Amino acid sequence: MSDNVVISVRNLKTYFYTNERCNKALNGVSMDIKSGKTLCIVGESGCGKSVTATSIMQLLPKLSRIEEGEIIYHSGDERGDIPIHKLDRNSKEMRELRGKDIAMIFQDPMTALNPVYTIGWQITEMMQAHEKISKKDARHSILQLLKDMGIPVPHKRIDQYPHEFSGGMRQRAMIAMAMSCKPKVLIADEPTTALDVTIQAQIFELMNHLKKNYNTAIMLITHDMGVVSELADDVAVMYMGNIIESGTAEEVLEHPSHPYTQGLLKSIPVLGKGSNQDIQPIKGSTPDPYNRPSGCQFAPRCEFATEGCTKAMPDEVMLDGTHMVRCRRYQEVSKDDK
Ligand SMILES: Nc1ncnc2c1ncn2[C@@H]1O[C@H](COP(=O)(O)OP(=O)(O)OP(=O)(O)O)[C@@H](O)[C@H]1O
């Protein structure tokens, strides 16, 4: 395994059990999250992006559990490799990992920020929960952190409440809180969906700054291929609980080999191509997770599908380099893209 892998996920199966029915929300997911790189997880609503994140954080909703597979955190220190999938969500070890080693940011900053305390107070609490640090030293580092996160007049902002911040500034404050213990991994679940494009661009710049200057491993969840093309070093495309294509951003975006990836790329406008672009949404909709089609889950929506596709789930095929695709018809699909 390459040195810079911080989290490796192997054959992860996370299921939901509701009314005696089982939803295989993750059905054998494997991926590596690497330091100093951004891995984008992309796919339509319900494909399993958030469940992947909450499995890694051991913050799964009720009625769901990790059924099979591994999530290993490679600490790089005397703790060695930590099997997260075996830890209890409320265990001391898991609580220490959360925040200190692996931090998460959300679409809505108020998920993480408490309205009744000042930003400075909340970040101090977070720091003191994980390390021995005096209030004075914490204040000093928080001022620097707020400045690093592009929050103007930090000595004033530190004593303000979340409601005194604009949406974009609140998002930065949440990122500052997530970064306060210098985590090795930052998991960001659609962090800019609610923000306007200018603020979105600033938050992306900030994430690139974290990656470069703190060597943070970033896992960024998005449904937007435009975001992927701007930020990703590595990409994993998910559909119905499986990764159906993955590789470096160049491999996946320049040579998409799964019809679903091609569909996602055709459904976004390309910068610089003007307003007369042929934007085509992917036809059909995702199947009912409790009543899945047999074989390839995308087959009912796929123009390349043949009878064989509905018989069994396609195996992973390794193309060039790290490029993986799960499609029987990938050769025809790749030709079609040329
Ligand atoms: N709390 C829950 N209770 C029951 N099923 C759930 C719950 N959360 C997620 N699921 C199911 O797990 C599957 C994966 O959902 P997940 O939230 O990971 O999708 P997603 O790709 O993050 O979608 P979105 O972009 O809408 O957030 C879906 O079939 C979803 O219905």
Q: Whose CA is nearest to atom 14 of ligand 1?
A: 48
User: Is the backbone of residue 200 left (phi > 0), alpha (psi -120 to 50) or beta?
Assistant: alpha
Q: With beta carbons less than 8 A apart as the criterion, state whether 183 and 99 touch.
A: yes
Tens-place pLDDT, residues 20-71: 899 999 999 999 999 999 999 999 999 999 999 999 999 998 899 999 999 9
3-class secondary structure, 254? helix
3-class secondary structure, 5? strand
Model confidence at 338: pLDDT above 80: no
pLDDT-wise least confident of 151-165, 184-198, 226-240: 184-198
For residue 11, what pLDDT band results from cuts at 50, 70 and 90?
A: very high
Query: How far, in Å, CA of 210 to CA of 224, rounded?
Result: 21
- Average pLDDT of the chain? 91
CA distances from 29 to 8, 88, 89, 292, 326 (A): 10, 21, 20, 17, 12
Task: Check if 23 has its Cβ closer than 6 Å to any atom of ligand 1.
Answer: yes
Concatenating the DSSP letter of every residue in 64-110 gives EEEEEEEEEEE-SSTT-EEEGGGS-TTSHHHHHHHHHTEEEE-SSGG
Task: Check if 289 has its Cβ closer than 6 Å to any atom of ligand 1.
Answer: yes
Q: β-pairing, 102-105 with 38-42?
A: unpaired
Query: How far, in Å, CA of 32 to CA of 50, rounded?
Result: 16
Asked if ipTM goes beyond 0.95, one says yes
Task: Check if 45 has its Cβ closer than 6 Å to any atom of ligand 1.
Answer: yes
Q: With beta carbons less than 8 A apart as the criterion, state whether 14 and 85 touch.
A: no
Task: Check if 61 has its Cβ closer than 6 Å to any atom of ligand 1.
Answer: yes
Task: Check if 48 has its Cβ closer than 6 Å to any atom of ligand 1.
Answer: yes
What value does the mean pLDDT take over residues 232-256?
Answer: 96
Query: How far, in Å, CA of 336 to CA of 249, rounded?
Result: 20
Give me the phi and psi of 248, to 5 degrees please. -70, 160
Query: How far, in Å, CA of 204 to CA of 120, rounded?
Result: 23
Query: In the chain, where are the structural domains located?
Result: 247-269+277-337
Model confidence at 320: pLDDT above 90: no
Tokens 């690139």 — which residue? 208
Tens-place pLDDT, residues 179-204: 888 899 999 999 888 778 888 888 88
pLDDT computed for residue 271 by the predictor = 61
- From 45, 65, 108, 297, the mutation candidate for ligand 1 (largest count of ligand atoms within 8 A of CB) is 45
Task: Check if 239 has its Cβ closer than 6 Å to any atom of ligand 1.
Answer: no
Task: Check if 122 has its Cβ closer than 6 Å to any atom of ligand 1.
Answer: no
Tens-place pLDDT, residues 75-131: 999 999 999 999 999 999 999 999 899 999 988 888 889 999 999 999 999 999 888
For 244, the enclosing helix (H) or strand (E) is strand 242-248
Question: Considering the entire predicted model, what is its pTM?
Answer: 0.93
**From the alpha carbon of 54, which atom of ligand 1 is closest?**
18
